[in-house]
Structure 1
Amino acid sequence: SLPSCALWKDNACCTAETSTGAHQDQSYLYNFNWNHCGVMPEMCKRHFIQDTCLYECSPNLGPWIDQADNSWRWERILNMPLCKEDCEESSHSLLTAALSPSPGTNWCPHSSTCQLFKYVFPRPTDLSEKIWSNSYKYTTEHWGSRRCIQMWFDPANGNPNMAVAKYYAQNRRDASPAPRAVLLLLPAALLSLL
């Protein structure tokens, strides 16, 4: 099967090293292990790898780039409209727990217990918006609507997220406030359409 980050191989904002890191159970990207509460089901793991690849590699996230105020990242994505299918496909069978940082990995404190995501994030809106601190915004828009970002698409049919970024860059509706300079981060092909 196609590695998740390969969708952006012709026009990516990440390196091959980042792509490799996104696919590892113990990744240096966020000092996080997917299997912190037992082995993560493959469907769940695929969802989170696609999420990481989109966040790290997609050149179409310019309208939602916001300044970050932390020591490990200068910019972040804020309120990016995620397609309903990507929000609802997510991992309700996945176990999670309260995590404490540890050098090079995550771990569960002895006082915590693993719980199903459906108890921690009972609605698709909760999971989509809260798990990554409002990076994503739940929408009722569907794949192909040209109004929401897709985590996964068939590269043979082109990148549908280009049209979505163009729409939000032009209209600025429902996009989080971002400096006009963000347009410089959009791919040249997209800017030619503006």
Structure 2
Amino acid sequence: MAQWMTTQLLLFLVWMAEVGEAQPRTIRIRTELLNVCMDAKHHKEKPGPEDNLHEQCTPWKKNACCTADTSEEAHKDISNLYRFNWDHCGKMAPACKRHFIQDTCFYECSPNLGPWIKQVDQSWRKERILNVPLCKEDCESWWEDCRSSYTCKGNWHKGWNWTSGYNQCPVKAACHPFPFYFPTPADLCNEIWSHSYKVSNYSRGSGRCIQMWFDPAQGNPNEEVARLYAEVQSGAGLRGAWAPLLSLALMLLWLLC
């Protein structure tokens, strides 16, 4: 039975490869997913240069979806962007807050999130990001630097008390160190913003995951990653998969004979 199934798999893959070869080789990448800005509260309509971006937002100076004013607000406590209070459970550690500022800069400024933009029906935005493959080191350092800080919630997108004009902990929501609500780095990065991020198994510099932090002098590595995922979504990346699949089927067939 196993040999028969392997043979059928081999025949199917051979057929699919022949179909793939018969298709035109000029598959167009979904360019509408590249170099775009979200339709959200503070984003520009189109990305472009912003020479005066503030501090942690400066990596995007050459091509940004945020303005200088937005970048400056991103560094303030209870800023005019969203009136969000990082210190809702006492003073957040500076190293921890730095990650949240970088997260805000990344969200507001990056033009490389097209493959993960989804439409939403929310009063303050029409689009959001979902399951952006964040490089594992960015997530791990975020979690590590926030271990000593306190929070009262596991999902920061909803459920706050806004009666004071900024977010406060809901009634009966107790403040605990971050690991209480986020036991692992993946719990933090995946859950805190309703799955805006999905921690990748890939490392920084691999060209397979998105970096929240990067040295602009070395170029923006997220451009390559966005292009890769745009290729996959357009089907351009599928043709190259047939060769390793055929090899695997042949190996299985050889082992079973």
TM-score (norm 2): 0.64
Q: Where does structure 1 differ by over 4 angstroms across 4 or more consecutive aligned residues?
A: none
1:20 pairs, out of 72, 76, 92, with 72
1:71 pairs, out of 117, 123, 129, with 123
Residues 65 and 109 of structure 1: CA distance in aligned 2, closer, same or farther (over 3 Å): closer
2:97 pairs, out of 45, 51, 65, with 45
Residues 34 and 48 of structure 1: CA distance in aligned 2, closer, same or farther (over 3 Å): same
1:152 aligns with 2:213: yes
Name the counterpart of 2:157.
Answer: none
Letter in 1 for 2:148: S
Distance, in Å, in 2 between the alignment partners of 1:74 and 1:151 is 23
Deviation at 1:12? 0.3
SS at match of 1:168: helix
User: How many pairs are equivalent?
Assistant: 172
What is the root-mean-square deviation of aligned Cα atoms in Å? 1.6
Could you say which structure has the higher helix fraction?
Answer: 2
Name the counterpart of 1:86.
Answer: 138
Letter in 1 for 2:113: L
1:134 aligns with 2:195: yes
SS at match of 2:167: strand
Instruction: Identify unmatched segments of 5+ residues in structure 1.
Output: 174-194
Name the counterpart of 2:247.
Answer: none
Letter in 2 for 1:28: N
Instruction: Identify unmatched segments of 5+ residues in structure 2.
Output: 1-53, 154-159, 235-257
TM-score (norm 1): 0.84
Name the counterpart of 1:96.
Answer: 151
Percentage of pairs with the same residue: 59
Letter in 1 for 2:152: A
Deviations 1:122-156 (A, max 9, x none): 11111111100011011111000001110111111
SS at match of 1:172: helix
1:107 aligns with 2:162: no
Verify the 8 A CA contact 1:28 1:104 in the aligned structure 2.
Answer: no
SS at match of 2:81: coil
Could you say which structure has the higher strand fraction?
Answer: 1
